[in-house]
Amino acid sequence: MSRRLRWLAPLAALPLLGLLAYAFRTDPRAIPSPLVGRPAAVFTLTTFEGAPVRLSALQGRVVLLNFWASWCMPACYDEAPVLESGWRAYRERGLVVVGVAIQDSAEAAQEFIRRFGLSFPNAPDPAGRLSIDYGVYGVPETFVIDRRGIIRGKHVGAVSEAALRETVEPLLAESAG
């Protein structure tokens, strides 16, 4: 390399450094869901109590579809009371929380429901069909479905009280039309 162009060598490393700087600032686990903005896939589940839960029957309400597992420690244990209190606080205004226990045994999942006194519908996900259909890759994950049945957001990790409030409030204010 000629002496005149020698200063170009460190310059060539700049794009690479820029790429690394950008990449290290992003969360490698935060993978955007292609489902956001699209109609939520319809499902029919049967709760642990044997009651049917149909998404189509929940049209017109804001749905928090929460995927959890009793072995998901501590995130699912952190958010279970938040979901329960959120459901109690907003159910009158049209919020439904639907819990789906994935890759869990019925006994362990029911013990979890008892432990936190969960009163919103919770159902197992036999053969993992619903979690695959929603592109779930871990627990907890929560899909936010608006009154028109469109997936408006996906929350990865434990839902905090503030996050629940900030997500749900504006959607409850929307009309179902």
User: Does 106 sit near another protein (CB under 8 A)?
Assistant: no
Give the span between the Cα atoms of 41 and 55, in whole angstroms: 8
Residue closer to another protein (CB basis): 86 or 149: 149
User: Does 172 sit near another protein (CB under 8 A)?
Assistant: no
- Closest approach of Cβ 151 to another protein, in Å? 11
Please pick, from the candidates 88, 129, 160, 165, the single residue that binds another protein as defined by CB under 8 A: 129
User: Does 18 sit near another protein (CB under 8 A)?
Assistant: no
Nearest residue to 131 (alpha-carbon basis) of 160, 112, 154, 108: 154
CA quadruple 110, 115, 117, 118: dihedral sign: negative
Site string for another protein, 134-163 (x = CB under 8 A): xxxxx-------------------------
Task: For residue 140, give Cα distances in angstroms to 13, 21, 37, 130, 137.
Answer: 40, 29, 20, 14, 9
Give the span between the Cα atoms of 40 and 153, in whole angstroms: 11
Query: Stretches 29-37, 59-67, 93-101, 112-120: which one binds another protein (CB under 8 A)?
Result: 29-37
- Strand pairing report for 62-68 and 141-145: antiparallel
Binding footprint of another protein on the chain (CB under 8 A): 1, 31-35, 103, 127-129, 131-138
